Amino acid sequence: MTPNHVLPAPELRDCPAPAKLNLFLHVTGRRPDGYHTLQTVFQLVDWCDTLHFHRRDDGVIARVTDVPGVPADADLMVRAARALQQATGTSFGANIAIDKVLPMGGGIGGGSSDAATTLLALNHLWGLGLARAELMRIGLSLGADVPVFVFGHNAFAQGIGEELTAVDLPESWFVIVHPKQHVPTAAIFSDQRLARNTPILPIADFAACPHPFDFGRNDLEPIATAKFGEVARALEWLKQYSPHARMTGSGACVFARYPDANTAQQVLEELPPEWDGRWVKSLAHHPLALPATRLARRAIERPQRST
């Protein structure tokens, strides 16, 4: 930061961290380091956590909102902020608050999205000016799903999820059902029954598919439904209303696509009371898919409050 550099206002509020759906998920192999290689398409949707940041001059990273079951030091928001500090040597810190609505262990990328929004917001708030590609590199050290949220667009993903190609997807509405069951990702990927040899397909195969939401399958779904009965029951229920319903990520959420909001709402009205559900709309891009220096045009900068 140059001596004449003018920092933005110290507070950045109402920063969205959207959920994602895996339209398909193929496990294509396993690397010597234990990471699985895959192919998937990430669809962003308008169901979001909301994060708030206040810059500190003492270098302290403090999560000022309690997140039940997640110690602050293990929280991906805190880890992302510290990784950004370490990568840049900045002396700034931050207070981080969150309005948490995305379920944990749901396969919709809530923690990863929170981490990505933290990287984007603090890159701006701390005046770092890092390119999006560099933020993606930092994000990958936190988890394989973090880069796509920094990338900011619906994407065809390969490798461990970090090789991203932007794709255009039709406007859609989805019903997402969370069967109130936490599915640990490690429990699915470590299962010996998991097939790890789905053939690698060219992106052209997906692009040429007349019905992209029916493409492929989720290789993790048979494992999750065998291990977690509520996931299996929720998927079976949703398939009554859409034969192409499937699980996202490693579970527990299941989803189905509908051509309009009214149809999605009608399906949701039949949801059994023991589960949570909502209808959501697709996003063409991340709400913060702007250069970091223009981030404040999408979030709300507030003047520094007196103490």
Residue 127 shares a structural domain with residue 196: no
Q: How far is CA 83 from the centre of its chain?
A: 18
Contact 154, 43 (CB under 8 A): yes
d(CA 177, CA 180): 9
Query: Residue 145 is part of which domain span?
Result: 11-166
Q: Which one of 75, 114, 145, 219 is the catalytic residue?
A: 145
d(CA 266, CA 170): 21
d(CA 28, CA 217): 12
**Phi first, then psi: what are they for 274, rounded to 5°?**
-80, -5
Q: Is there a domain that residue 116 lies in?
A: yes
* pLDDT for the residue 32: 93
* pLDDT for the residue 289: 77
What Cα–Cα distance (Å) separates residue 118 from each residue in 66, 87, 191, 294? 17, 14, 32, 15
Instruction: Per-residue pLDDT tens, the chain, 307 aa: give them.
Output: 444 468 889 999 999 999 999 999 999 999 998 889 999 999 999 999 999 999 999 999 999 999 999 999 999 999 999 999 999 999 999 999 999 999 998 999 999 999 999 999 999 999 999 999 999 999 999 999 999 999 999 999 999 999 999 999 999 999 999 999 989 999 999 999 998 999 999 999 999 998 889 999 999 999 999 999 999 999 999 999 999 999 999 999 999 999 899 999 999 999 999 999 999 999 999 999 754 434 444 444 443 333 2
Residue 152 shares a structural domain with residue 33: yes
Last residue of a domain, one of 166, 181, 208: 166
Contacts of 281 (CB under 8 A, 6+ apart): 45, 46, 171, 172, 173, 174, 261
What Cα–Cα distance (Å) separates residue 209 from each residue in 129, 166, 220? 39, 16, 22
Q: Please, how many CA atoms are within 13 Å of residue 48, restricted to the half-sphere of its CB?
A: 20
d(CA 49, CA 184): 20
> Can 58 be counted among the known catalytic residues?
no
CATH number (domain holding residue 260) = 3.30.70.890
Residue 139 shares a structural domain with residue 202: no
Q: Which one of 20, 75, 100, 114 is the catalytic residue?
A: 20
d(CA 73, CA 95): 14
Q: What is the token pair recorded at 85?
A: 């500090």
**Phi first, then psi: what are they for 91, rounded to 5°?**
-95, 0
d(CA 248, CA 246): 7
* pLDDT for the residue 6: 82
* pLDDT for the residue 295: 45
Q: How far is CA 153 from the centre of its chain?
A: 11
> Can 73 be counted among the known catalytic residues?
no
* pLDDT for the residue 5: 67
Residue 235 shares a structural domain with residue 111: no
Residue 32 shares a structural domain with residue 111: yes
Strand partners, 30: 36
